[in-house]
Structure 1
Amino acid sequence: MTKCEQVGSVMLDLTYYPGEDLYSDGAIEDELLAIVQNNPPSAYSQIIAEKKSWPVFYHLSPFRTNIIDWLPFKKTDKVLEIGSGCGAITGALARRAGSVTCIDLSKKRSLVNAHRHKEYDNITIKVGNFQDIEPHLDADFDYVLLIGVFEYGQAYIGGDTPYEDFMRICNRHRKEDGRLIIAIENKFGLKYWAGCREDHLGTYFSGLEGYHEGGSARTFTRHGLEQILERVGIDAYSFYYPYPDYKFMTTVYSDRRLPKKGELSNNLRNFDRERVLLFDEKQVFDEIIAEKEFPLFSNSYLLVVGGAPDVIYAKFSNDRAPKWAIRTSMAACAPDCIQVEKIPDTAAAYEHMEHTRRAYALLAKRYEGTKIEINRCSEKDGNAKNGLVFEYCKGLTLEAMLDMCLDRADVEGFKALVAEYMEWLRYGEVCDGEEAVSNIDFIFPNILVEGDKWHVIDYEWTFEKYVPAKEIAFRAFYDYILGGARRKACRELLFQEILGFSEEEITAAVQKEQEFQRLISGDHVSVDAMRELIGNRAYELDGMLSHCHYADERLVAQLYFDYGEGFSEAHSVKLRDCFFAQKDLRIAYDIPKDAVRVRIDPCSYMCTVSIRSIMVNDSLYVGEDMETNGVWHSCGSLVFASEDPNIAIHVSGGGRLHADMEVMELPEVLAKKLAQDASEQNIMDKTKHFIKQRLKGKN
């Protein structure tokens, strides 16, 4: 018997719901439900910025849909979304397809999904265990989607071959000409080698090491996925490569359009956890691209089972104010023909398309008859609201050519390219009047060099006014040096030698560029800015090594052994790796049999020491059993106003020393003040004790 609930226009099918959620992320789900029940989707961006929370950002960000927004859905399509969760992509599917059937184990998450999309009457959410629901699903879906779900095949299916079985089961629900879409992290993704934690376990290198620590999720390399496809008997498939990863994708590549050197520079995406930076990922990606190994190290995969979409590349420029949000795509419209399109991402961006079309006409007129060729554009289907169609240009970006000069230490070649760039930047300048036009998007990645031609492939930020060439050049130079550590060495040449800028002028120009970026972003906080707001750090290797060297010098205890002749350096041992959380000192050491005393030097700086225990075998030492150059404070701690703090105890016959104490470094002034106060208090206490004893004697 079918059991249903209605949330707005969305239908929740509870026929196979067991009556309780068998999976929950806890309080965050209640928070998400409250947000979507009490706020319209237009408020989510502001809430995300205010909350500064990874789960809120992850579940409610509109940029999650980039992973599927480039696919060719039709309004007649029938879509199955497995593992729909809180509905990160459900709304985008409902807008573009005819009907969407969702499956999720959690009713709470399904309620979040339903409330945020309650205006859609083409969404049905089936709540319950996938294995209970699956036998009752249709087998004629145009799309079956598993976005961040396939890795949980063991939990969904179980058995000896869970991933093969999961793929086989999901694949049988698409129609013959339909598509199965799987988005998943790559076990060998470069980010994991570079110091990101594994997405599911939250530990370092666990996927690279074969998931020996366990866990319910498993990700795969391309080869691993292809082995599963082969065992299932699927041979019609294609791989796409979301960058930086599938969660917050900005660009998708394919085997027909792989990334080029210099393109993969946006690699700090550790929203959920802190990470380390073991190397410059941009530089390593460049080498991987040169070695033609990018598919092995792509951070994520989008696997398409069935016919390959015509789109071979898509780049989203929608982390902006709505009126400037667009998408650029390349489609293989014939074996030797590639069509480039810019599509408005919102209705508000229609005007930006008109602006870009007009910019082409103005710039083409300015550079007519020169080697500068402005990439020709025309209205898609006769209307700029549908987007713009551009010619596909070949060549190397000026950015890549400059990098090649750096690779071979060709300073003169580098200078010559920049000089020619400056020449064309100034060409046809008009300082005022109706003829003034300035393309401030004349930056190195937007210039393709093919023989003696320079193709300008992007010019969306063109204005009908005069902008000094130096200001535009600064944008190009600044964008270039942000692209990797090696490029930063060009800073003085580009900013000071070529532009003649002082440090004050550089600072002012940087601020102006940042203001322009804020203008483009509009009211919402950009994805990059969210990483800073959430606050998970990225620790550089040099900084970690410096801290390790500091720890080696500072977080070191030392034991001295007295064999009847006093303590000496010759009879001592330094103990490293004995501090925990920088202040908890724990020592376990075998005392030589002939030693008569042991001295513990907890550190080499002024400090307070709270002794939890000092034991040799089963014997516990208390304060009166210890000799120390510190002063006992009334709180029970030792205060050391010396950089050679020590505690000595008498021993005999050897044994196992165990010491557990808290060591807190003190500034010199405070250490001496506390020691003086404690000494005066001790003298006062001893005097009082002496007087009491004398008075008792007289009585």
Structure 2
Amino acid sequence: MNHTTEEILYIKYANERNREFAVRTEILENIDGKRSVKKTPLYPEGKAHVAGLMEKYRRLEPDYEKVGLFCNRAEADGESVRLEYLMGESMEEYLDALLNRKKKEEAEKLLKQYIEKIQALPGQESFCMTEDFKEVFGDAKGLETMASVSNANIDMVCQNVMMDENRWTMIDYEWTFFFPVPTAFLVYRVLHYYLETHGKRSVFNKEAMYTWAGITKEEREVFHEMEQHFQRHLTSEHVPMREMYGAISPGTYPVHHLVTKEQIRRGQERMQVFFSDEKGFREERSVYYRLENGEFHGTIEIPEHTDEIRLDPCDGMGLCQIEELSFDTGTMGEIVVSDGITGDGEAYLMNAPDPQFYLGKVPKGAKKLTIHLRVVVTEADSVKINEFAGKLLANGEERLKKQKEKQQQKEARLKQEAEENFSRQAEEIARLQMELARKTEKIEQMEQTKVWKLYRKYRTIRERN
């Protein structure tokens, strides 16, 4: 095939890997407007890795067809490999679009449908540890009872699935291995890289999804270690440029502290409020509000046709204290979903750089929302975050103690009031009994008088006549 008159539309260098895995990826367009994706090794050591795409395509294609999936077609092109350029929307983009339209159930159904296809891949056998597996994923424990596939494309993440009507095509299968890999690890990577990489996806119950997929917490920890070992396998002794600073720049002035300080200052300057309509949350239906020393105390207008409200209190990790959320209808605002951690629904540890709080449905007739909150943004490192977590737990514990004391005081007060009421009631009953006794005695005395006896005789005669 003649590709001499092609235009390069896009180029990417994966050069932070070992030389044997480093590749150049290009999107090319010929004079007829037809596009293709071309992968080329950057170094001679990488020729086998790129050429191996052909064998991976040949083995995966029949397996995928049996579960209703398709492989992006590959063809050799000298030392390079050509792949189809597919138009359409990735599964990741499609799922996110469903979430934006508040169709979480539909998104969950689709994600589960895809996972079931992976779980149904043919040729599954009990896992068997191999030296090749140890080299790539480490000597992982507890895999012996798991089902595994030997044509294992571990990169079946939603980003690599192109959707065209009912046809789902795997556009990248570079990381396919021909030794047993647990099928559950393939599923784990799909869930992990979709559910845990963006705050908007926190509407999913992550724990429930892993449980549904049959992946325990202990297995997730094993899979996490496998993933870390795999990433190290890609780089090995190669040091990515992003990690060179500390090694080649001793003694330089730590400018990053100044940058971090400025980021913290800016992160506490404003909050952003989104007002969704039938098209979901989007920038054009959002408003920025200034924070004074990290605090906001005020009432905001709710635009017409607003279905739900999302509050982005700041830009950065740290702590957010919610003092009040209330609508002008008298209804209290409630945070129904958040990517922060809270113990009491008031103080939140924000462990994501773009924290988001979803208030849910706006009450009918509501036109204003009163907000009282304060935020403290800190550096995105484990020490600072742990300090804030400790403060959060301490504050939560102190708040719970105070709530417990108030409840005990209330119970004691009610008990005392009940005892006092009982005492008063007992006294009133005793008084009424004494009054009744006195009146009974008076009646008995009156019945013994001559006048009463004559009156009673008179009434008897009258009743007879």
Q: TM-score range by the shorter chain?
A: 0.3 to 0.5
Task: Return the structure number with greater relative CO, CA threshold 8 A, min gap 6.
Answer: 2
Q: Give the TM-score, by structure 2 length.
A: 0.46
TM-score normalized by the length of structure 1: 0.32
Larger radius of gyration: 2
The structure carrying a bigger helix percent of its residues is: 2
